[in-house]
Amino acid sequence: MGFRKSMSILAIIIAFALVISGCTNDKPASPAPTDSTTPAVSNNSEGSGDAKLEALGLDSNLRFKETRKITVEIYDRGNDGGTPPEDNFYTQYIKDGMLRDHNVEVTFVPVPRWTEGEVINNLLAANQAPDVSITYSYPTIQTYANMGGVLDLAPYLEDSKDLFPDMWEYLTDTNIYWDQDPNTGTLWALEAKLNILNRINTFVREDWLKQLNIPAPTTLQEFEDMLVAFKDNASTLLGADADKMIPFSTSFDVGWRADHLTGSFVPDDITDKDVFINGFDDRRFLFPNYKEGIRVLNKWYNEGLIWKDFSLYPAGDTTEDNLMKMGYVGAFMHNWDYPYRNGDDSIHASLQRLVGPDAAYIAIESFPNDAGVYKKFLSGPVDRKIFFPATNKEPIASLLYVNWISKLENRVFLQFGEEGVTHEKLEDGSLKTIAATGEKIMNSPANIDYTITSNGLDLGDPELTVKSIANGYAGVDSRLIEVAHKITTNQGRIGQNVNVGEIKAEDGQGQALKEKRDTILNKAVVAPVDKFDEVFDSGMKDYLNSGGQAIIDERKAKWEAQFGDKTMLD
């Protein structure tokens, strides 16, 4: 942890030095005045449309007269049996399409998915970030924007909106301007569209419930009793492998993986104001009563109900998945469809091959809050943040890329691939995936790493989309998908866009506070029961003293300046 933190701090220092050497004012560095980077001229006079295209080096079909070159970030998930993320069937489809439609050469730059925040920090600091960059961390973007390291997209969108119709139609003003500063008008990033707000589910072995004649738990106590039953009946459930029994599994990312449990301890009447003030940590670490959810995990750990080695394996490690595939894990929380992903290599498929056709994980709801509601805190309709570093000399070509990737026909192809090869079209018009092998395998679910403006299936027809989601898991009973799809957003509270401008206290803090949070939670879960409060409270004190409290205070002040005494938004 210390090394990663040091690298993040070093990245900030290097970036600052680079900006000081190249900029002499507080405003973001302007792009070099080439044909493609000059914002389009006004469109008011007759013939100005042609003049605008001419100034940008484009013909009437929006093809550059001279070939332009851009680089695009792509996540590398390190998949066993996957393809090189920067060079495969789907990247070739994109490259061919961009060259054909816009005369733009695209080169993909792989970035490790599980450490993307650190890596993009370092790339920005070294002036080597891809022209089209992506991150889940807006504070990272804001940090470098403050140092002149990120392009302000507002002028390009205002002056050349008509060049990007597909992007505008798909993302709409909501996602395009989600992050625009209400005071300065600067726009450092576009928000990808989260088509489906599905987030987390709690999964249990349905066959184990049947074997022990236990109904699916609907309360915390019933869930705990189930875990105890798994442990006490390990010999019945696993035979000679009884010593390998793991009633409940989690990972080093406790905040994400325990979301349903911790969320159930948050008071049902939490205000929009408190959600905003404390919601800068996306694991809801600062929400009221969160600690009590972690206390439950601490109790379970000390009673031998949780995988004892969960904190030892870093992001991207496959050890936990393999334990699930071998049939040793009774329950876990994870992404809403996690056990059903990856076709023949999925946890579900592996479990059925090894254990038998009745072995399966099913989603359940077990954690009502103080009002008896199975409350889930859901995201707003936003996902990854797309931004252009100041080193991008081709912002128009880059925006044409974002537009091209937003076009419905291109998104659908990337999500489903070739008919008859990676999907079939059913009589009702919905699509059903076919397990892909070789060069046409997808490294991420529905190729979300390539459809950077879109996360989640979208066929342009809501009814066909839902049917296709249920069809989309080769070899998985659609019943399991339908249950998971229904539960993950049931009684959910959708996140709202509270845009009060930059929170300066967040500048440079994103990665450091994330690492502190993960360390605190890991230590708190494995602490002896009588040391839990001491470990959690001392960790929280350090977190707050390291910048967390300053962020809380500034968010509170900004809310009150914008909304006065209001605690709930309209």
* Confidence check: pLDDT of 40 > 70: no
Distance separating alpha carbons of residues 488 and 451, to the nearest angstrom: 23
Q: What is the pLDDT of residue 229?
A: 98
Q: DSSP characters for 78-109?
A: --TT---TTSSHHHHHHHHHHHHHH-EEEEEE
pLDDT 10s digits, 412-430: 999 999 999 999 999 999 9
What is each CA distance from 334 to 252, 331, 447, 476, in whole angstroms? Answer: 12, 10, 19, 18
* Confidence check: pLDDT of 335 > 90: yes
pLDDT 10s digits, 85-141: 999 999 999 999 999 999 999 999 999 998 898 899 999 999 999 999 999 989 899
Distance separating alpha carbons of residues 116 and 135, to the nearest angstrom: 7
Q: How many CB atoms lie within 10 A of CB 43?
A: 13
Question: If DSSP states are collapsed to H, E and C, what string results for 244-271?
Answer: HCEEEECCCCHHHHCHHHHHHCCCCCCC
SS3 content of the chain, % helix, strand, coil (to 5): 50, 15, 40
CB 154 within 8 A of CB 27: no
pLDDT 10s digits, 14-37: 333 333 333 333 333 333 333 444
Q: What is the pLDDT of residue 245?
A: 98
- 478 band by pLDDT with thresholds 50, 70 and 90: confident
Closest C-alpha to 188, from 153, 157, 156: 153
Domains of the chain (ranges; CATH) run 56-194+380-457 (3.40.190.10), 200-378+496-563 (3.40.190.10)
Q: What is the pLDDT of residue 48?
A: 60
* Confidence check: pLDDT of 13 > 80: no
Distance separating alpha carbons of residues 499 and 181, to the nearest angstrom: 7
Write down the mean pLDDT value for the chain. 90
What average pLDDT score do residues 6-19 get?
Answer: 35
Q: How many CB atoms lie within 10 A of CB 194?
A: 20
Helix axes 290-302, 532-543, angle to 10 degrees: 140
* Location of structure tokens 């800068």: 280
